[in-house]
């Protein structure tokens, strides 16, 4: 493996780097009025590690249900210190989906910072946000709100228990085509391979300290601030869901943030860019913008180049199965002027790749086909799901894992360009969604006979989702009220970002010559 681009000439592992900063009183995280130092982060995660070890007999994953609470980072590190993976579930996940995932992972402990009530699996205990401070206090630490240090009676988590190279660090549950989420397993080796490659793209000028921490922990782009910038000693500036829903509150919060690195999806940054005040005067220290999770448009990059003339824009591409990013590049003015779409970059250092046709053979130079990648960044597969794993993962003779991405791309001048998906999977605001996942859950509602969900595109990117529904028996309600009822029922089964913006009621679906629902005709007539 090519390790020429290591951070500081070596691999960068989060626990190794944070231990070196465990006596530092520099600020590690900021969330609203709360802060925590590197010393407090290390000591409190030791304390929580002791709690996890005492409550969990197995090495099954620890579930974390919440948004951007500082306590979540403490728990993540604590899980790694005990040799366990953590499963981050955002507050956009309804309790029913959380309960399904808990049954799958057979967790013995959930840290529930969501405010939602969940039904616990047999043998599982729960620690809520209100209980967190008292839990820490029992382990000899100050309050859980970031204040207070730990006493000498607290023992450090032994390094011998830390996650090993082949151990899972986290499992991210993504939308599945069957209506049930799939758990992507990411190991320490996967993360180290990613960070050793991408860390050089994240380096900031001397004196630049603050990094945006906006992306949900249930979405893998959040790994960039957590596993690269935090170990570098940078301060993570957290944005929560309430701020995402209130631009005025968000901008008031950003005004004095001194953010130097921005990590987000293009969609979130685009929303911010519409405001006149969102420019260099608001974020004078901004020098690096890292965007990933969905298609990046030339219009957005041009806007950013005008608003932040000294900031570089990096476009990253990668499925969750490939540990955050598999390719990346800086977007230049020349790329914007080019007639092609923006490139998704060059494959990571150790990556071997091929663009294949439908028969699995390499396409001719410049041809379009499915991107297949082999790398130490590739996951070992889906959690307890060998059937789905076998469909898209494979192992080479050298022992490396490979992954068939399902993304159609072409290559020119050493750069990859994204074209489309080969299946019904889409990216919306960075979240990966299987359209069949939504349909399967809509069809579980008593009112629904059958449904189809289609994406609506704007400037090459999915803008929102529309569901087409045929009912069993039509109630005496308007289409608008029926749609509201269906959305309400669906929201109890899938994350809120998967609920279609529009629901169109049909008497019957149009059929194509093969006797299947004619999705193309639906799109032409209604979208």
Q: Which helix (H) or strand (E) holds 271?
A: helix 266-273
pLDDT band at 422 (very low <50, low <70, confident <90, very high): confident
pLDDT at 82: 97
Angle between helices 247-254 and 266-273 (to 10 degrees): 90
Cα of 348 vs its chain's centroid, Å = 19
pLDDT band at 8 (very low <50, low <70, confident <90, very high): very low
Q: Is residue 147 pLDDT above 60, yes or no?
A: no
Closest of 455, 464, 470, 463 to residue 504, by C-alpha: 470
Task: Count Cβ atoms within 10 A of the Cβ of residue 470 and give its class: 0-12 exposed, 13-18 middle, 19 or more buried.
Answer: middle
If you write DSSP's letter for every residue of 357-419 in order, what string do you get?
Answer: -TTSPBPPTT--EEEEEE-TTS-S-BTT-HHHHHHHEEE-TTS-EEEEEEEEEEEETTEEEEE
The percent of residues in the chain predicted with pLDDT above 70, rounded, is 95
What are 87's two structure tokens? 């499963």
Q: What is the rounded average pLDDT of the residues 73-95?
A: 97
pLDDT at 135: 85
Q: Is residue 173 pLDDT above 70, yes or no?
A: yes
Q: Is residue 144 pLDDT above 60, yes or no?
A: no
pLDDT at 148: 58
**Beta-sheet strand order (sheet of 259-264):** 34-37, 27-31, 235-238, 210-213, 259-264, 288-291, 312-317, 327-330, 346-347
Q: Helix or strand or coil: residue 213?
A: strand
Spatial distance between the Cα atoms of 503 and 481, rounded to a whole number of angstroms = 10
pLDDT at 2: 37
What are 192's two structure tokens? 């180290």
What are 415's two structure tokens? 């750069």
Q: Is residue 11 pLDDT above 90, yes or no?
A: no
pLDDT at 1: 31
Encode pLDDT of 29-54 as tens digits: 999 999 999 999 999 999 999 999 99
pLDDT band at 513 (very low <50, low <70, confident <90, very high): low
pLDDT band at 288 (very low <50, low <70, confident <90, very high): very high
Q: What is the rounded average pLDDT of the residues 304-323?
A: 96
Encode pLDDT of 324-380 as tens digits: 999 999 999 999 998 889 999 999 999 999 999 999 999 999 999 999 999 999 999
pLDDT at 3: 36
Sequence-distant (≥ 6) Cβ neighbours of residue 199 within 8 angstroms: 5, 6, 7, 12, 228, 232
pLDDT at 475: 87
- Burial state string for 263-292 with b = 16 or more CB within 10 A and e = fewer than 16: bbbbbbbbbbbeeeebbeebbebbbbbbbb
Q: In whole numbers, what is the pLDDT of the chain averaged over residues?
A: 91
Q: Is residue 218 pLDDT above 50, yes or no?
A: yes
Spatial distance between the Cα atoms of 305 and 381, rounded to a whole number of angstroms = 39
Per the DSSP assignment, residues forming a β-bridge with 432 are 427
pLDDT band at 210 (very low <50, low <70, confident <90, very high): very high
Structural domains of the chain ordered from first start: 14-330 (3.40.50.12780), 342-421 (2.30.38.10), 426-526 (3.30.300.30)
Report residue 351: phi and psi, to 5°.
-75, 130
466 or 512: whose pLDDT is higher?
466
Task: Count Cβ atoms within 10 A of the Cβ of residue 458 and give its class: 0-12 exposed, 13-18 middle, 19 or more buried.
Answer: exposed
Q: Would you state the torsion angle of the CA atoms of residues 457, 302, 228, 152, taken in this order, to the nearest 10 degrees?
A: -100
Encode pLDDT of 125-141 as tens digits: 999 999 998 888 887 77
Q: What is the rounded average pLDDT of the residues 139-146?
A: 62
- Cβ atoms of 290 and 261 within 8 Å: the answer is yes
232 or 179: whose pLDDT is higher?
232
pLDDT at 515: 65
Encode pLDDT of 313-322 as tens digits: 999 999 999 9
34-37 and 27-31 beta bridge pairing = antiparallel
Q: Is residue 177 pLDDT above 80, yes or no?
A: no
Q: What is the rounded average pLDDT of the residues 141-153?
A: 60
Sequence-distant (≥ 6) Cβ neighbours of residue 319 within 8 angstroms: 326, 403, 405, 406, 407, 432
pLDDT band at 149 (very low <50, low <70, confident <90, very high): low
pLDDT at 95: 96
Lowest-confidence pick of 175-179, 378-382, 501-505 = 175-179
């Amino acid at each position: 493996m090519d390790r020429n681009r290591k951070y500081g000439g070596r691999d960068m592992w989060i626990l190794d780097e944070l231990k070196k900063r465990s006596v530092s009183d520099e600020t590690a995280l900021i969330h609203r009025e709360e802060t925590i130092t590197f010393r407090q982060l290390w000591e409190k995660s030791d304390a929580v590690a002791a709690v996890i070890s005492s409550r969990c007999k197995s090495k099954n994953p620890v579930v974390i249900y919440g948004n951007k609470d500082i306590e979540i980072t403490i728990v993540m590190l604590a899980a790694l210190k005990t040799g366990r993976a953590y499963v981050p579930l955002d507050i956009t996940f309804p309790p029913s989906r959380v309960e399904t995932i808990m049954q799958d992972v057979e967790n013995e402990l959930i840290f529930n910072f969501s405010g939602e009530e969940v039904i616990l699996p047999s043998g599982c205990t729960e620690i809520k946000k209100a209980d967190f401070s008292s839990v820490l206090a029992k382990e000899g630490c100050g309050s859980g709100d970031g204040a207070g240090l730990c006493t000498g009676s607290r023992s450090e988590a032994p390094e011998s228990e830390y996650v090993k190279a082949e151990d899972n660090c986290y499992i991210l549950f993504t939308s599945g085509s069957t209506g049930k989420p799939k758990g992507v397993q990411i190991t320490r080796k996967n993360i180290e391979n990613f960070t050793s490659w991408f860390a050089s793209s994240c380096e900031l000028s001397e004196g630049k300290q603050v990094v945006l921490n906006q992306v949900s922990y249930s979405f893998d782009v959040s790994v960039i601030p957590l596993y690269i910038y935090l170990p570098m000693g940078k301060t993570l500036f957290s944005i929560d869901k309430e701020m995402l829903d209130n631009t005025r509150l968000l901008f008031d919060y950003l005004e004095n943030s001194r953010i130097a690195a921005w990590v987000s999806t293009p969609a979130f940054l685009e929303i911010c860019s519409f405001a006149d005040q969102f420019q260099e005067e608001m974020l004078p220290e901004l020098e690096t913008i890292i965007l990933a999770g969905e298609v990046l448009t030339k219009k957005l990059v041009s806007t950013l180049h005008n608003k932040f003339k000294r900031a570089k824009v990096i476009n990253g591409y990668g499925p969750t199965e490939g540990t955050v990013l598999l390719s990346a590049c800086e977007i230049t003015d020349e790329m914007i002027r080019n007639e092609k779409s923006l490139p998704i970059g060059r494959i990571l250092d150790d990556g071997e790749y091929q663009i294949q046709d439908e028969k699995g053979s390499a396409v001719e130079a410049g041809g379009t086909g499915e991107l297949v990648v082999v790398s130490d960044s590739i996951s070992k597969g889906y959690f307890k799901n060998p059937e789905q794993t076998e469909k898209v993962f494979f192992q080479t003779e050298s022992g490396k894992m490979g992954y068939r991405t399902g993304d159609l791309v072409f290559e020119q001048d050493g750069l990859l360009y994204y074209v489309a998906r080969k299946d019904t999977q889409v990216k919306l605001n960075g979240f990966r969604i299987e359209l069949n996942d939504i349909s399967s859950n809509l069809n579980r509602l008593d009112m629904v006979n059958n449904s189809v969900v289609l994406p609506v595109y704007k400037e090459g990117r999915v803008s929102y989702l529309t569901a087409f529904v045929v009912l069993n028996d039509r109630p005496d309600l308007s289409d608008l009220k029926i749609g509201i009822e269906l959305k309400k029922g669906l929201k109890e089964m899938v994350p809120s970002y998967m609920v279609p913006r529009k629901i169109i009621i049909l008497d019957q679906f149009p059929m194509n010559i093969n006797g299947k629902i004619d999705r193309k005709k639906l799109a032409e007539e209604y979208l």
